[in-house]
Chains A and B, each alone.
Chain A
Amino acid sequence: MSAFHKLIARVRTALERPVESAPPHHEAGGMAPPHAEAARRAELASAFAREFAAVRGEFLGIHAPEEIPAKVVELARSLNALAVAVGAGVTLDFEPIGRALEAARMAVVRTNAKKRDDAPPLRERIAQADLGVVEADAAIASTGTLAVVGTPASPASLTLTPPANLIIFHADRVHADLAAAIAALGPEPFVKNRVAMITGPSRTADIEKMIVLGVHGPRRLFAIAAWPR
């Protein structure tokens, strides 16, 4: 505690010195979230899709919620996935996705299932999966970004350790830019949970500034927009 007070004292003394630049004026307020009428929504979703592709994300289209389980199965098959880790939805019910995958004879790692005593911890089972599936809390059109809030039912590992990742987002939750998305999310999820903003698959440019995907996080990132009929 006293080290902290010493630091604060040092900082205060330093701040008593004259400042060179004019005192700042703080601007208040961000942008209001965009109006959710259909045309605007479609425009934002298509802007998102364009930016998402620009960061090498693979956009799988806009689908009604009831079509999504079949789309997930199709994707998992194309990846030759043996195991898929499925989180809980935010606006959508993810249970049909798990059932559809099981019906297609794939192992499903469920985050909300009661753990058997002999099973390895959930995060290890997620790390073994070939695909992680979550729902984003928000999408950002100007940058092609998906904001995912980690919760007990949707742990951060889902978008981190499997080699491929599918993020589903609700078409109502696409915001024009970062400021609008952060304003819409509000401070609460940031305080209570771990939030990740994800813009494309994991990448590096550490070797001669050449871009290589999948250095630590997922190599492939897919997105589906959900648009209820």
Chain B
Amino acid sequence: MSAGPSSSGFLESSRRGVADADLRRKLENATGRHLEHVAATRAEFPAFDSERDAARRIKEDAIGRLDELLVELKNKLEANGATVFVAADAGEARDYIVNVVKRAGAKQVVKGKSMTTEEIELNPALERAGVEVVETDLGEYIVQLRGERPSHIITPAIHLSKEDIGRLFADKLGIPYTAEPETLTDAARKRLREIFLSAGVGVTGVNFAIAETGTLALIENEGNGRLSSTLPDTFIAVMGIEKVIPKLSDLPHFLEILARTGTGQKLTTYVNFISGPRGRHDADGPRAMHVVILDNGRSAMLADPVLREALYCLRCGACLNVCPVYRRIGGHAYNSTYPGPIGSIVSPNLFGSAAAELPFASTLCGACRDICPVRIDIPRILLHLRWRESVAQPAIKWPKAAVKARASVVRFARMARFPRTLRLLTRLAAPVLRPFARDGYMRRMPGVAGNWTRWGRDFPALRARRKTRQKPAEHS
């Protein structure tokens, strides 16, 4: 469970994020650039919304008969020569993979980008078993060199500037300092290519698993996913149960929307289809292929009629880029493999009560739902979780400020049932408080409203007539 957030860490970590002006600038630049690309590619593709609807219908269908599709997928993969393992939780998945690696006698494992393996904390488990694990996606490689976890599900090193990466490479790879992205990328390419040619096992995630043919589709831009699944003798793919889709002909609907939303491309550079190990006459491809199908809390999400929709997520990362909260605090603040709006839904379900605060880390502004390629109603699910957490509240240790704020809402709701009394109270209180106000604003407030005035905002005085409201006059 340690891939999840540490208890009540969100308040502190999000404060650190907000206070880091440099981080906020980097996030604003990178996410802003992404949103521009997305807007541009969508504008020139009129079928975008109808493809979204088609993709959504396929997910509804697939998740609605996941049992039969998983059986079909497993049978087809096995018929294609792959070994399928079903893991109920992270521990089972880790143990299986460590065993496969040990049996293969591999000292080195290369990894393509995979959030699912982050979720199950695979790397530390392999390292404990004496295996060197090398992340090969450039962003993942960078954060691995820094000993960090990714801060974004698509752009793992979004929190770093090219200068940060230049210093890191100078320090860890011993190359002369440069902030040129081309030179830095080239240095990583050279280093990683040698490892690709010698590593015994490759591990990647899966974007779509096609039941009809027993085919895994891996989507990427760099080619490291292709290398990881082609050069090592053993290939292990790790997927959540929700990745299965019925037919090959369903896939184009997803491909048409995924890159357009995730990166602002029409299509990613590579879509790799792998159905099994190499044939007898093939010159490359793995000799053994293992597919780990992971539950780890997903079937419980499936059982909840509101949460079920969250299993449609394609992990495109767009909701992070558009989220005003994510853009202010960055991915590390969430203390979870899955940050941002979709992470705030998934994390409490995969990692338990330690992430219970995350559904509250949203203004419910709805920008995530609007950008979601499969139209997941994220605000509605967050509300559902808030309600669920409030029912189960005694089990969770909330920060003091949150408990107080919540209590004050209960008090307000109780009073608001009596409008006449409440109006009388505020009418009486207003003149008493007026001397403390300046231009209709209070500089300091007691109690819960003190959180407002301690954080850069004056509080409007009760029933105040701000003098500026009386006559409009241009003052410039």
- What residues make up the interface of A, taking CB atoms closer than 8 Å to B? 3-4, 6-8, 10-15, 17-21, 23-27, 29-30, 51, 55, 111, 121-124, 126-127, 142-145, 150-152, 155-157, 160-161, 177-179, 182-183, 187, 190-210, 212, 214-218
With an 8 Å Cβ cutoff, the count of chain B residues facing the other chain is 100
**Pair B213/A190 contact, Cβ less than 8 Å:** yes
Please report the C-alpha to C-alpha distance between residue A203 and residue B138 in the assembled complex, in whole angstroms. Answer: 10
**Pair B224/A216 contact, Cβ less than 8 Å:** yes
Name the residue of chain B whose CB is nearest to the CB of A178.
Answer: B252
**Pair B86/A4 contact, Cβ less than 8 Å:** yes
The 10 closest A-B CB pairs, nearest first, are A217-B223, A206-B139, A14-B303, A216-B223, A152-B281, A14-B302, A179-B252, A197-B271, A178-B252, A10-B299
**Are A4 and B74 CB-contacts (below 8 A) given A203-B222, A216-B227?**
yes
Measured between beta carbons, the chain A residues less than 8 angstroms from B213 are: 187, 190-191
Measured between beta carbons, the chain A residues less than 8 angstroms from B186 are: 214
Q: Residue B333 at the A interface, CB < 8 A?
A: no
**Are A199 and B181 CB-contacts (below 8 A) given A206-B156, A216-B189?**
no
Name the residue of chain B whose CB is nearest to the CB of A186.
Answer: B248
Q: Residue B34 at the A interface, CB < 8 A?
A: yes
Name the residue of chain B whose CB is nearest to the CB of A203.
Answer: B221
Q: In the complex, what's the smallest C-beta–C-beta distance from A28 to chain B, in angstroms? A: 9
- What residues make up the interface of B, taking CB atoms closer than 8 Å to A? 26, 29-30, 33-34, 54, 57-58, 60-61, 64-67, 70-71, 74, 76, 80, 84-88, 92, 136-139, 142, 155-158, 160-162, 165, 181-182, 184-186, 188-189, 192-193, 196-197, 210, 212-215, 221-224, 226-227, 230-231, 241, 246, 248-249, 251-253, 255-256, 263, 265-275, 279, 281-285, 293, 295, 299-300, 302-306, 308-309
**Pair A206/B138 contact, Cβ less than 8 Å:** yes
Please report the C-alpha to C-alpha distance between residue A161 and residue B193 in the assembled complex, in whole angstroms. Answer: 9
Please report the C-alpha to C-alpha distance between residue A208 and residue B29 in the assembled complex, in whole angstroms. Answer: 8
Q: In the complex, what's the smallest C-beta–C-beta distance from A157 to chain B, in angstroms? A: 5
**Pair A17/B161 contact, Cβ less than 8 Å:** no
**Are A160 and B273 CB-contacts (below 8 A) given A178-B255, A190-B215, A203-B221?**
no
Name the residue of chain A whose CB is nearest to the CB of B181.
Answer: A207
**Pair A178/B226 contact, Cβ less than 8 Å:** no
Most buried by A among B181, B192, B308: B181
**Are A155 and B282 CB-contacts (below 8 A) given A194-B273, A215-B189?**
yes
Q: In the complex, what's the smallest C-beta–C-beta distance from B296 to chain A, in angstroms? A: 11
**Pair B269/A217 contact, Cβ less than 8 Å:** yes
Please report the C-alpha to C-alpha distance between residue A3 and residue B86 in the assembled complex, in whole angstroms. Answer: 6
Name the residue of chain B whose CB is nearest to the CB of A13.
Answer: B303
Measured between beta carbons, the chain B residues less than 8 angstroms from A11 are: 66-67, 70, 241, 299, 302
**Pair A15/B181 contact, Cβ less than 8 Å:** no
Please report the C-alpha to C-alpha distance between residue A25 and residue B303 in the assembled complex, in whole angstroms. Answer: 22
Measured between beta carbons, the chain A residues less than 8 angstroms from B272 are: 194-197
**Are A51 and B266 CB-contacts (below 8 A) given A30-B252, A179-B249, A206-B156?**
yes
**Pair B214/A191 contact, Cβ less than 8 Å:** yes
Q: In the complex, what's the smallest C-beta–C-beta distance from B466 to chain A, in angstroms? A: 42
Q: Jot down 23 A-B pairs with beta carbons below 8 A, ordered by A.
A: A3-B86, A3-B87, A3-B88, A11-B66, A11-B299, A13-B299, A19-B305, A20-B306, A23-B64, A55-B265, A123-B231, A143-B267, A156-B284, A157-B231, A178-B251, A187-B212, A190-B213, A191-B213, A199-B269, A206-B156, A207-B185, A208-B30, A212-B185
Name the residue of chain A whose CB is nearest to the CB of B221.
Answer: A203
